[in-house]
Amino acid sequence: MSKITQPHGLPSNPTEWETYVGPTAKDPGNYPDSYTPYIEVGLRGEGAGDFNPGPFGVYQGKCGGWMVSECDDWVGYWDGETFLGDGIEIQDLDDKHGLQASGGRSELDYDVLLSTPDTVDSIPSPYPWYPSPKGAYGSWNNHGLWFDRDGVDKWQATSWGNSGENAGRINTGGIYTIEILYHAIDANGNGDKTDDGLGVMFAKVNGVQQGFYTSWVSGPPQYYPVGLSFNGDMEHLQVFAGSWAGDPSGWNYGMVYLSDISVTGYAGTSDPLVADFTYSPDPVFTGELVQFTDASHGGMDPYSYAWDFQNDGVTDSTEQNPTHTFTVPGTYTVKLKVTPFRCVPKTVTKTLTVSCPAYLDVIKFYDANANGENDDGMEITGWPVDIEGTIYYTPVTLKLAPGTYTVSESLSGTWMSTTPKSVEVVLVCDDEETVSFGNLCLGAGGGMTPGYWSNKNGEKTFTTVIGTGDALSALVDLNLWKYNKKTGVATEFNPTSYKQVKDWLLARDAVDMRYQLSASLAAMQLNVLADFVDGNAIVYAGPALGFVSIDDLMTAADTALWDSTSTRDTLEQFHDALDDANNNYNFVQPEPCEF
């Protein structure tokens, strides 16, 4: 054969085997006419969910072949919960070893000679109760397959063929060496043995090939050796072993032991059938066409598909990649059954939540006037926002299931927010909500520092652009202070010349915060008078003061200088804001900066 898996999870010693294949009750409802405990060793399809995967009564079975060793004492039938023997002491057909395939096939189905393993012969069954076709070499009227399992059957000594060179077939004390040879066959004659999913098997028991007798002889059977064909993807078969033994009331057939399981030949890695599918879109909404896509792999093609979208047992589609529309919200169990060319079908089930749609829009606007309102008409595109852990880029429009969603943004550099950076939104069916993030960026606004106003360039602007008189008058109108380090006393500063202003600016320090704030305020007043700075320009004045115009900032700072109760912290906040403006750090820019 072409490829099989290594022994799959089999115990390694007799003690483990005893636990593995110990007696378990066989459901008599499956076999109403007889009770037959047995063991099986052989190959079957990977992932077969049943010890003897069906369907029953199907010629060549469906998924592998094996040796079955039946160990029943007599033929009988079940009457309700009671087993009744037939009362006739004749040699049984049950105490035997024989080849079998899924579906409970028997010696009627032997249909291949070892001399021609690629030829499978079958003829219609003469028994109306047995499915057609049956094998060309099998028969109910011989016992060439029969082997006494317990060594005490009184009919064994007179059984056909159990003499002479065939004496090895009898009375072995219930210990048997079973050897099974498998072939992949070219049933369709195209020269390829891998595309038919069909194989044959031959067995030796205690070194003797199985065969059939058609008349009494003391020697090999007339049909010898013969074997059984079976269906099965030969690329994906696994070694298995186990028992179906019974212990109904009053009966006890004891334990079955298996040991020394080995595999020779080409044992390769396999790719068993795995059923799987995907669907889109996700999430799923009512009235929306959902595309289901088969994602199964492994096994043997061609495959057939059965989709059940309602979990009601009704096949809704046999297409490989169907579409479906759900009209009612709810939770749906979608099931896909994939049947390969040979062997065991596989099923995958997934749960889909179908919701009525709700809509969420997220925009980002540039807030040049820093009022938190989208009244400037400047939207920002391509800015990342986070919606429940997923990043989207503005503007965003999403169709979502009803629920509560957290929408947030992050900022960097000189960008600032004028609205909350994280918003919780509650969506209901057919609702549409919009989240708007307001932002601005900071930069230059034309400010000049006290150092500028104390140098020659500043002096020229002071005396010629503003005019000395106007400049001095504006400064005198402010509540400016100076500080004498020698005396430690602060007094009001009302300059009468540019030189006084220059010396006062150069001598400033932070020992007295009123002096430091006065210098920053005076420099900004001169910036506005010289038209370097627009008094209506907005700056960010820190967390306590927020966004404020230059004119309002200067007025508030002047008031703080006049108020004798102003704390150093208050004065320092105004100084920092004016100092940042003089240094062109905190002006709200009229248009978005790069990001």
How confident is the model at residue 251, as a pLDDT? 38
Q: Which of 28-37, 340-349, 582-591 has the highest mean pLDDT?
A: 582-591
How confident is the model at residue 548, as a pLDDT? 97
pTM for the structure as a whole: 0.57
Instruction: Output Rg (C-alpha) for the chain, integer angstroms.
Output: 47
Q: Is the pLDDT of residue 275 over 80?
A: yes
Nearest to 520 by CA among 487, 495, 550, 563: 550
Q: Is the pLDDT of residue 563 over 50?
A: yes
Q: Is residue 354 within 8 Å of 311, Cβ to Cβ?
A: no
Q: Is the pLDDT of residue 335 over 50?
A: yes
Which pair of structure tokens corresponds to residue 447? 């400010």
Nearest to 10 by CA among 251, 329, 178, 242: 242
Residue 296's SS3 state is coil
Helix (H) / strand (E) containing 76 = strand 76-79
DSSP alpha helix (H) spans, 346-467: 450-453, 456-460
Q: Which residue did the predictor score with more confidence, 188 or 551?
A: 551
Q: Is the pLDDT of residue 412 over 70?
A: yes
In CATH, what class is 277-355?
A: mainly beta
Least confident stretch, 169-178, 223-232, 578-587: 169-178
Separation CA 348–CA 276 (nearest Å): 6
> At what angle are helices 550-562 and 568-582 packed, to 10 degrees?
150
**Which pLDDT band holds residue 250 (cuts at 50, 70, 90)?**
very low
Q: Which of 300-304, 482-486, 511-515 has the highest mean pLDDT?
A: 511-515
Separation CA 591–CA 401 (nearest Å): 36
Which pair of structure tokens corresponds to residue 100? 């079998």
**Which pLDDT band holds residue 3 (cuts at 50, 70, 90)?**
very low
How many residues in total does the chain contain?
595
Separation CA 322–CA 303 (nearest Å): 15
Q: How far apart are the first and last CA of the chain?
A: 66
How confident is the model at residue 260, as a pLDDT? 65
Q: How many CB atoms lie within 10 A of CB 133?
A: 16
Provide CB contacts within 8 A for 120, sequence distance 6+.
111, 112, 185, 187, 198, 200, 229
Q: Is the pLDDT of residue 407 over 50?
A: yes
**Which pLDDT band holds residue 173 (cuts at 50, 70, 90)?**
low
Which pair of structure tokens corresponds to residue 539? 């700056």
Domain ranges of the chain: 14-244, 277-355, 358-440, 450-588
> Identical fold at 277-355 and 358-440?
yes
How confident is the model at residue 75, as a pLDDT? 45
Q: Is the pLDDT of residue 51 over 50?
A: yes
How confident is the model at residue 89, as a pLDDT? 39
How confident is the model at residue 34, as a pLDDT? 38
Q: Is the pLDDT of residue 266 over 60?
A: no
* Per-position DSSP letters for 90-126, written without gaps between them: ---SSSEEEEEETTT--GGG--EETTSTT---EE--S
Q: Mean pLDDT score of the chain, rounded to an integer?
A: 79
CATH number of the structural domain 358-440: 2.60.40.10
> Percentage of residues in the chain with pLDDT exceeding 90?
48
**Which pLDDT band holds residue 65 (cuts at 50, 70, 90)?**
confident
Residue 560's SS3 state is helix
Query: What is the CA angle 31-36-41, rounded to 5?
Result: 110
**Which pLDDT band holds residue 41 (cuts at 50, 70, 90)?**
confident
**Which pLDDT band holds residue 586 (cuts at 50, 70, 90)?**
very high
Question: What integer is the mean pLDDT of 341-363?
Answer: 91
Q: Which residue did the predictor score with more confidence, 194 or 570?
A: 570
Helix (H) / strand (E) containing 577 = helix 568-582
Q: What are the tens digits of pLDDT across the range 83-99?
A: 555 444 343 444 567 78
Q: What are the tens digits of pLDDT across the range 416-432?
A: 999 999 999 999 998 99
Separation CA 65–CA 299 (nearest Å): 17
| Strand positions, DSSP E, 277-421 | 277-280, 284-285, 289-294, 304-308, 323-325, 330-339, 346-355, 358-366, 384-387, 390-393, 396-400, 403-409, 415-417
Q: Is residue 462 within 8 Å of 504, Cβ to Cβ?
A: no
